[in-house]
């Protein structure tokens, strides 16, 4: 909710925010937080409590900002159990990119210096920038992230509280207890006493991922299932479109697996996707949760996207058929990039077969306890050490794959949400054999870019045959979602074209 007068992403329009609070508009949960001076608590905009007087409230872009200002989380609406702000991916400012890296646990693993280095700033300048933009510095933002993860683990698992503390990223049990008391005005034991844990399976972590609705889970599931690579991914799609998707995860402290149950959810509002994690090291809980959120495009604003795209007659029918369509992300940028090159100029089935051969021959075998999940995808250094003739593809493409992997292994190219997207694209295009389609497809799925357009894509051209005069520029800043609508429509049965009212 950018200030329409100033256009500054860090400012909030008080009138618009208060209107959202008065109407309990769930679309803004996670976009901003409402702090109430008379109670000392902060809430999500849709909190069912009585609307406070406007003179008694202030608005904050992050939960960390509200906590830094001295407020504690509302026990009724649980404001931290919300999707993240869609602004992080739309604007892709330094603050937004920092939020993704903090969510992945970078501050816990590498400190503020590590976060700043990834973003290309000094730690002092980054702290000033985040405080100005988000109302809190990197340490406060990371602290809030740890508290949110810990609360979810306390309330939804049977993990011992000591295990919860270290799984959430706290350096000590004392720090864990003090933070939970300060943020939630309750001890970890008191928080656990309020809810019955959802999982009693030893070694399993059962969580829920908040998503804004509508949520087209069935379409997302079909996309992932059609591209599932044996050994690292498995999926089940039921006749009604519901089902589940599971995959292996190569995490900072060890391997793991994640499984999500996907179905369509109506809205507007907030729904929850069930997630089950099995991790070799509990310290990877935060990173695993963050990467699955990116896979599901969990922070998207489907109402804004659908309203914008649905206004064009060329897309209106597609949007109406699949409200809440998501752009499938990915859990690992390196894997996505390698698979993108393997998929150049071949069918989805052929690309999946090529990836399966690579996994079987070069992937790291692991034991998961889940049928079909047997390997981790080979890392960049492993692929870079291969010979172009090892691939069943033209040698030029094999050399391109090895060159890409070498750049990734050396750190010359980074495909997480940290680097500037334009700089990543430039670096990709400088590599032999990497053209605009591949670079933009990587940006679409690995970098979460919401405004990618692939004019040379065969599927896109086929889907637009009925609308040869359409101008994709008018779909900005949501062209990535238009792409997914067009790709998905290719599997739809034929139907009469929608009337074109643009001349009226």
User: Could you list the active site residues?
Assistant: 43, 457
Contact between 235 and 189 under an 8 Å Cβ cutoff? The reply is no
Contact between 61 and 85 under an 8 Å Cβ cutoff? The reply is yes
If we measure between CA atoms, which residue out of 126, 68, 123 comes closest to residue 94? 126
User: How far is the first Cα of the chain from the last one, in angstroms, to the nearest whole number?
Assistant: 33
Alpha-helical segments (H) within 50-187: 63-68, 87-91, 94-103, 106-119, 123-134, 138-156, 161-167, 173-184
Per the structure block, which two tokens stand in for 431? 């590599």
β pairing state of 41-43 and 72-73: parallel
If we measure between CA atoms, which residue out of 344, 417, 332, 418 comes closest to residue 380? 332
Contact between 42 and 35 under an 8 Å Cβ cutoff? The reply is yes
- Residue 36, classed as helix, strand or coil, is strand
d(CA 426, CA 81): 37
Contact between 90 and 2 under an 8 Å Cβ cutoff? The reply is no
Q: How many degrees, rounded to 5, is the angle at CA 386 between CA 384 and CA 388?
A: 105
d(CA 138, CA 123): 9
For tokens 């034929």, name the residue. 494
Contact between 264 and 217 under an 8 Å Cβ cutoff? The reply is yes
């Amino acid at each position: 909710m950018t200030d329409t007068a100033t256009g500054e992403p860090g400012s909030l329009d008080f009138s618009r925010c208060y209107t959202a609070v008065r109407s309990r508009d769930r679309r803004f949960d996670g976009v901003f937080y409402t702090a109430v001076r008379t109670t000392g608590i902060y809430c999500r905009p849709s909190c069912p409590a009585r609307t406070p007087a406007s003179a008694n409230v202030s608005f904050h872009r992050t939960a960390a900002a509200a906590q830094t200002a001295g407020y504690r989380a509302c026990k009724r609406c649980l404001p931290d159990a919300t999707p993240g702000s869609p602004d992080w991916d739309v604007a892709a400012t330094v603050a937004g990119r920092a939020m993704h890296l903090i969510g992945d646990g970078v501050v816990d693993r590498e400190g503020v210096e590590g976060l700043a280095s990834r973003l290309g700033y000094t730690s002092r300048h980054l702290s000033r920038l985040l405080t100005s933009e988000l109302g809190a510095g990197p340490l406060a933002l990371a602290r809030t992230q740890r508290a949110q993860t810990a609360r979810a683990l306390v309330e939804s698992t049977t993990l011992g509280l000591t295990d919860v503390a270290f799984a959430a990223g706290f350096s000590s049990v004392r720090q864990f207890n003090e933070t939970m008391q300060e943020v939630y005005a309750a001890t970890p034991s008191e928080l656990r006493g309020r809810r019955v844990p959802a999982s009693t399976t030893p070694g399993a972590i059962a969580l829920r991922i908040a998503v804004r609705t509508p949520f087209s889970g069935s379409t997302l599931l079909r996309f992932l299932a059609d591209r599932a690579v044996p050994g690292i991914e498995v999926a089940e799609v039921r006749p009604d479109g519901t089902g589940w998707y599971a995959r292996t995860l190569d995490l900072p402290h060890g391997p793991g697996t994640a499984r999500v149950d996907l179905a369509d959810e109506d809205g507007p509002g907030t729904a929850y996707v069930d997630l089950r994690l099995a991790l070799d090291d509990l310290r990877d809980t935060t990173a695993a949760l963050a990467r699955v959120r990116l896979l599901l495009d969990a922070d998207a604003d489907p109402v804004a996207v659908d309203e914008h795209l649905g206004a064009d007659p060329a897309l209106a029918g597609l949007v109406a058929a699949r409200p809440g369509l998501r752009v499938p992300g990915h859990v690992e940028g390196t894997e996505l990039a390698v698979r993108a090159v393997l998929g150049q100029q071949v069918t989805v089935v052929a690309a999946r077969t090529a990836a399966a051969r690579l996994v079987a021959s070069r992937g790291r075998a692991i034991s998961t306890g889940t049928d079909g999940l047997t390997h981790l995808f080979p890392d960049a250094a492993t692929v870079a050490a291969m010979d172009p003739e090892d691939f069943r593809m033209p040698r030029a493409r094999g050399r391109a794959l090895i060159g890409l992997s070498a750049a990734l292994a050396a750190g010359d190219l980074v495909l997480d949400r940290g680097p500037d997207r334009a700089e990543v694209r430039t670096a990709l295009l400088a590599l032999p054999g990497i053209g605009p389609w591949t670079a933009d497809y990587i940006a679409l799925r690995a970098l979460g870019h919401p405004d990618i357009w692939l004019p040379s894509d065969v599927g896109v051209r086929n889907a637009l045959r009925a609308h040869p005069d359409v101008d994709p520029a008018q779909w900005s800043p949501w062209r990535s979602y238009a792409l997914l609508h067009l790709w998905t429509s290719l599997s739809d049965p034929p139907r009469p074209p929608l009337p074109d009212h643009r001349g009226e």
